[in-house]
Amino acid sequence: MSGLIDTFREATLLQCSFLEKLLDLDMASVADFSASMTEFLQPSPDNKFVYGLAAGRSALALYSFLQLMQNHFENVFPFTLEDPVQRHYRKGKNLGIAISGSGETMAVNKYIDDFITRGGEIKLITANENGTAYKMVSEYEQGSTLVIKARTKHATNKDMRSRLSPLGTEFELEVLAFLNALFADIQSRLKGICEPSCPEYRSTVKDFEENARLISEMEPGHLEHWFKRLLPRSGRYVVGGVGRSGLVARAFEMRLTHLNKISYWERDFNTPSFQIGDVYVPITGIGNTYEAMEGTVTALSRGADVMPITANRSSRLVSLLRKHGRTDDIAIVPVKPEYADVFSGDTSSTTWLMSDFTKFRYPIFEINSSIFTNSVVAVGAEFLGIVEAGMRRMHV
């Protein structure tokens, strides 16, 4: 499996280069995007509604941003494609944020059209200036576009990225990191610091990239063991997580499906009970989440394996697996030393409600766990002999 370790490192470093690309965006366009978001989010007594118009993993990247807004602004309410625009539409108090790498996702374009028909403000992030979505929004008076050049799921060029970053992983990761970095700039602007060079945005992107590079230095022997335990199995995969980690978990579960694995997200209605041969993969930065602990206890009691992805070596979850002699089944995603205290300790949670700490925590783990799981998918595709074209056939 030594070749798979090389694949893991190559995939991780490639994703680091994706993050670096975000520093090459036109800062005037980033500043305009940030300034308009700041204007919408300015404190006011009125309720405001933000629609996230996206599908698949792009939607999960956008929903992370919507969660940030909901956590920080009491009267800002996010909605998704599951909520018809008509239901909550209030002229002047609605904002649509559309994400579409190809610009050809029919459901997204339909909702863009709904927004345009009702006269609402809409923003689009896309990789395709020739796409239908770009044409619709750029020609609309209250529409604005931001292009992030990246490979999407519709790309057909058979370059290295199709092996190490299949099915639009590049665009999805860049959107996730961009929006989280943009939020730092928005917070700065809300405090009255409005720099056209977007220093908060740039420093946040650099921080994400520095943290991500640590993943490529993970201990090869342990990674090799982890891959051997995770990939060659015929049982079912159940992936769990809450909050923004839960969004990473859902994105990972989608890719396991594309690898032709039988996989479920932990809280789907059709998720079966654990049985011998299954594996439970909780993704939790702090490692003390009530749901992760409950799922781990249940999985172990029914003979399933547990292979968590976490950043906290001193968590209750790690302690529990250590008692069962399964420490090697834990993937510890590294973070820079200055964040070590954030991911330490065994403070327990007895409720599904998020603490203020969890709500406002800097999203280092979410970015790193996204990159880690994307690299695991690249390893899985190579180990299982699945090329991007095969994954595309499994894609909805």
Q: Count CA within 13 A, CB hemisphere, residue 95.
A: 19
pLDDT value at 287 more than 60:
yes
Domains 2-214 and 218-394 share a fold: yes
Closest CA relative to residue 304, chosen from 390, 383, 229, 192 = 229
Average pLDDT over residues 179-198: 94
pLDDT value at 370 more than 50:
yes
CA-to-CA distance for 331 and 5, rounded, in angstroms? 14
pLDDT given at position 270: 86
93-143 tens-digit pLDDT: 789 999 999 999 998 999 899 889 888 899 999 999 999 999 999 999 999
Could you confirm whether domain 2-214 is CATH 1.20.1050.10? no
pLDDT given at position 360: 47
pLDDT given at position 343: 85
pLDDT given at position 352: 44
17-27 tens-digit pLDDT: 999 999 999 99
Average pLDDT over residues 254-272: 89
Please, where are the H alpha helices in the chain?
2-21, 27-41, 56-72, 85-88, 106-118, 132-138, 160-164, 169-190, 199-213, 220-230, 243-258, 290-301, 316-323, 356-360, 364-384, 388-394
CA-to-CA distance for 352 and 289, rounded, in angstroms? 8
pLDDT given at position 355: 46
Closest CA relative to residue 147, chosen from 16, 23, 17, 25 = 25
CA-to-CA distance for 176 and 334, rounded, in angstroms? 19
pLDDT given at position 256: 92
Q: 306 has which bridge partners?
A: 280
pLDDT value at 353 more than 60:
no
Q: For residue 191, what are its two tokens?
A: 């405090």
Average pLDDT over residues 239-258: 91
Average pLDDT over residues 355-360: 47
pLDDT, greater one: 238 or 151:
238
pLDDT given at position 83: 61
pLDDT value at 75 more than 90:
no
pLDDT value at 151 more than 80:
no
Q: Which of 81-90, 257-266, 310-319, 361-370 has the lowest mean pLDDT?
A: 81-90
Closest CA relative to residue 388, chosen from 175, 159, 172, 171 = 159
pLDDT grade, residue 357 (50/70/90)?
Answer: very low
CA-to-CA distance for 331 and 222, rounded, in angstroms? 8
pLDDT, greater one: 212 or 354:
212
Give me the count of residues in the chain.
396
**Whole-number percent of the chain with pLDDT over 70:** 86
Q: How far is CA 322 from the centre of its chain?
A: 29
Do the beta carbons of residue 308 and residue 331 sit within 8 Å? yes
Domains of the chain, residue spans: 2-214, 218-394
pLDDT given at position 88: 57
Q: For residue 1, what are its two tokens?
A: 């499996």
First and final CA of the chain: distance in angstroms? 31
pLDDT grade, residue 79 (50/70/90)?
Answer: confident
Query: For residue 302, what are the CA distances in angstroms to 29, 140, 268, 296, 331?
Result: 53, 56, 19, 10, 22
The CATH class given to the 218-394 domain equals: alpha beta
293-325 tens-digit pLDDT: 999 999 999 999 999 999 999 999 999 999 999
Question: pTM surpassing 0.85?
Answer: yes
pLDDT given at position 274: 93
Average pLDDT over residues 330-335: 96
Structural Rg of the chain based on CA atoms: 21
